[in-house]
Amino acid sequence: MKKFLVITLCASLVFSCATANKAAKSKNAQTASSKPQTPKKKPGKIKDYNQVITKDAKTDEGLFDVHLVEDKYYYEIPVKYFNTDMLLVSRLAKLPANLGGGYVNAGTKTSTRMINWVRFKDKVLIKEKSSSAVAADSLPINVSVRANNYEPTLFAFDIAAFSKDSSAVVIDVTKFYSSDVKAISGLPSAFRKQYKVRNLDNSRSFISTMKSYPKNIEVVQDFTYNASEPPNNSGDETISVQMNQSMILLPETPMQPRYFDERVGWFTLSQYDYGSNELKADRKTYLRRWKLIPKDIEAYKRGELVEPVKPIVYYLDPATPMKFRSYMKEGIELWQKAFEAAGFKNAIIAKDPPTKEEDPEFSPEDIRYSVVRYVASTTRNATGPSVSDPRSGEIIESDIIWYHNHLRSYRNRYMLETGAANPSARTLNTPDEEIGEMMKMVIAHEVGHTLGLPHNMSASYAYDVESYRDGAFTQQNGIAATIMDYARYNYIAQPGDKNIRFVRQLGPYDDYAINFGYRYIPEAKSADDEKEILNSWIMEKAGDPKYKFGKQSSRFDPTAQTEDIGNNSILASTYGLKNLKIVAKNLPSWTSDKTDNYEDLAELYGELLGVWSRYVGHVVTHVGGVVEDTKNPSQDGVVYSPVDKAYQKSAIQWLHDNAFATPTWLIDEQILKNINYAGYTDRVRSLQSRHLNNLLSFERLGRLIDHQALDASNYSALDMLRDVRSGIWSETKTSSNVSVFRRNLQRVYLDRMINLMTEDLDPRRSRQYFNVSQSDVRALVRGELNELKRILNAASRSALNTETKYHYRDCIERINLILDPK
């Protein structure tokens, strides 16, 4: 019995000791997990700090200390920055000519990613972090959000050493920045396929510089790729690019976001909030904007203009020609007035590039600086991209891209669109003051984008067409209610109109939009707190066309078109064509007669045809058009309203008179025989076919069918098809001969009818999909073709010239093939 008790006691002691040891280990593990872990050294893997960062190391202190030891680069990452949100921005610093076809340049971003540095055992990972799905950390659903949005690992680094006080981890980043990591590459997959890129040539690729600053690290890489079909110098089979990789620490506390309202145009970001009380993943959309906070909030509350704590500062590119710098700075600071409407003074500042003495490390690629980049490129454009915090929408940095040849586009359009009424535009040597005014307004437009504003294509519709002929009105109001419309010139003003402003400028919508996005609301502690105030600002202006926002993406709204001005496209385009006829007549005397060559004449004549086409397109949009007036349910009226039937019929008649009737004034022998040896008839056919095909589109017919279904008094698809057919084949009514230009146009009509009878809408590409074969489209087209066949049979028997007889007989045969392909 005693023996049994002893054995039992010993067993209990053993169990107790094992339990105690297990508990002690668990407690130690918990304590260790709350501190930075320094795992046991493994031979050949984790070394002493001095063995890795030797006395010969060149160190650059900053966000992470960056060490260069011989030919290796090391990051010394403070443990406090693990699992901290940062942005990794990749952009081209240098590139070969023609890479990407003209719209890729020095300064172009190739990727922007939010990242975390994460410790995993003896490794450090770069994880790309998603911000599109969120839930508060305190909510149970956060576990599911993270599990169902698992972030990719961009790269894994072995831990090389720990700092002497174990507060930081040292990793070798040489391979990450010197190898072809697709996530940060300057050559996306489309370029690799286009240029037949085989591989990165390691022998010709290297890290150029790596610099650390308090909140960012800038890395410059020189990469050379072997490519069978490079964009230039094809015999070299080489593409060399210089990349700049910016890594910036995001604010520990994200900026308070502001909700987007589609009644005010803004660039945005969206998140799905799974922690919302809504019975769904609640999609929340926020404005992308700079963080502006008044220095003196009490003075701001009193209505005084107050400087922001941190103003928006733009630097000019050191490459900017001296003669343009004043215009660019003026264009940037034109926005001062709009920010004053939001209660700020000196909110946006333009500066010359710092000299080497002032800032020896200044670089346009450095993410600390917002820069107006001046790009040596034949591309005619300017753009305004920006980088923002994906958690809140706070804009961190932006670069305006100005392409060198862009002013040539403005000079040409200045002559073509205003030359009839504007004597100073009738020259290839536009006065410097006027070129400067154009440049200033282009820069202002692009700055608007970098402040968060998209294009507003309804702004020019706010003004009556006749007002554009009033000097006092144009001097005060310009040509649109915002600089963000594509309304560049006053093409309506006629010869003899006095004191006309021909160039765009900022308007009342700009003040309104900047106030909406940037006015500081001290009493609001969250985005939800601002909703009622923001709505009240919109409702104050509701119904006033000067404050209406029109989407650029709309292809159906005639009040929100690109490159148009005024509230009546038929009248505006009539005035525009009257001016264009004067310009066409004088084009040789303004160009080739002065230069003694035909280069400028050929270029400007080609662009003149484009201007003609724009004016015509503005009228086409009214047929089957729908006016979009975004509003909330609490507001009166509907969002979508079809264009008036009488106006649509007027638009069709205008097109017959001005677009489909042969524009003989464009067929100028003095011009054509000096710039080309052939192709005259097909050039006219191409111009006309674009608009006839657009008029007879599936989407337009579908809208007209829908409109009549809701209201029989609306202009119908059958009305439109009859009106088009009647005008295109008008010669059949008078037994007159058909010119070669009209014969070409009539064949375009038949080809389009074949398309309507045989093709279908692609649901993947169409914004307005419907089932064509089960709609009225085929029946209407078949009926119109049968009616046209009857008319042509009668017309072909009348006394006509041989070309016309052959043409009509050919058209009958084409119709037979359409109706009975067998």
pLDDT at 48 over 80: yes
pLDDT-derived band at 713 (thresholds 50, 70, 90) equals very high
User: 732 vs 51, 692, 725, 745, CA distance in Å?
Assistant: 94, 19, 11, 14
Question: What is the average pLDDT value for the chain, to the nearest integer?
Answer: 91
Residue 103 is predicted with a pLDDT of: 77
Contacts 24+ apart (CB under 8 A), 724-729: 724/652, 724/692, 724/695, 724/696, 724/749, 725/749, 725/784, 725/787, 725/788, 727/652, 727/653, 727/655, 727/656, 727/660, 728/656, 728/660, 728/692, 729/788, 729/791, 729/792
As a residue count, the chain comes to: 822
Does the pLDDT at position 35 exceed 70?
no
Residue labelled with tokens 């990242």 = 115
Asked if 565 and 468 touch (Cβ cutoff 8 Å), the reply is yes
Whether the pLDDT of residue 145 is over 90: the answer is no
- Above 80 in pLDDT, residue 138? no
What's the average model confidence in pLDDT over 758-775? 89
Token couple for 530: 């601002």
**Beta-bridge mates of residue 120:** 123
Quickly list DSSP for 289-328. Answer: B----BSSHHHHHTT--B-BSS-EEEEEPTTS-HHHHHHH
Percent of the chain with pLDDT over 70: 94
Residue 611 · residue 693 · CB < 8 Å: no
Of 245, 186, 181, the closest CA to residue 218 belongs to 245
Q: What is the mean pLDDT of residues 714-733?
A: 97
Alpha carbons 244 and 751: distance in angstroms, whole number: 51
Longest CA span, the chain: 137
User: In whole angstroms, what is the distance from residue 550 CA to residue 460 CA?
Assistant: 10
Return d(Cα 261, Cα 457) in angstroms, integer: 17
Element at 156 (helix H, strand E): strand 153-162
The whole-number pLDDT of residue 447 equals 96
pTM value is 0.89
Reply yes or no on whether the pLDDT at 18 is more than 50: no
Q: Tokens 């400007």 sit at which residue?
A: 604
Confidence of residue 580 (pLDDT cuts 50, 70, 90): very high
Query: Are 287 and 266 contacting, i.e. CB atoms less than 8 angstroms apart?
Result: yes
The average pLDDT across 26-31 equals 39
d(CA 288, CA 728): 49
Whether 387 and 367 have beta carbons less than 8 Å apart is answered as yes
Cα(first)–Cα(last) distance of the chain, in Å? 110
> What is the percent of the chain where pLDDT is above 90?
78
- 130 within 8 A of 263, measured Cβ to Cβ: no
| 768 CB-contact burial (10 Å; exposed 0-12 / middle 13-18 / buried 19+) | middle
In the numeric block, which tokens belong to residue 384? 């305004």
**Lowest pLDDT segment from 5-19, 45-59, 518-532, 749-763:** 5-19
Q: Which helix (H) or strand (E) holds 340?
A: helix 336-341
- Tally: H helices and E strands in the chain: 24, 23
| 92 conformational bin, left if phi > 0, alpha if psi -120 to 50, beta if neither | beta
Cβ–Cβ under 8 Å, residues 619 and 569: yes
Query: Tens digit of pLDDT for each residue in 262-297?
Result: 999 999 999 888 777 776 678 899 999 999 999 999
Residues 209-242 have pLDDT tens digits of 999 999 999 999 999 999 999 998 888 899 999 9
pLDDT the model gives residue 44: 53
* Whether pLDDT at 6 is above 50: no
Contact 506, 534 (CB under 8 A): no
- Asked whether residue 375 carries a pLDDT value surpassing 50, the answer given is yes
Q: Is the per-residue pLDDT at 658 higher than 60?
A: yes
Report strand pairing: 133-134 vs 268-273: parallel
Instruction: Kindly report, residue by residue over 194-203, the tens digit of the pLDDT.
Output: 999 999 999 9
Instruction: Return all residues near 655 (Cβ < 8 A) that are at least 6 apart.
Output: 616, 619, 620, 691, 695, 727
Average pLDDT over residues 671-697: 94
pLDDT for residue 86 is more than 90: yes
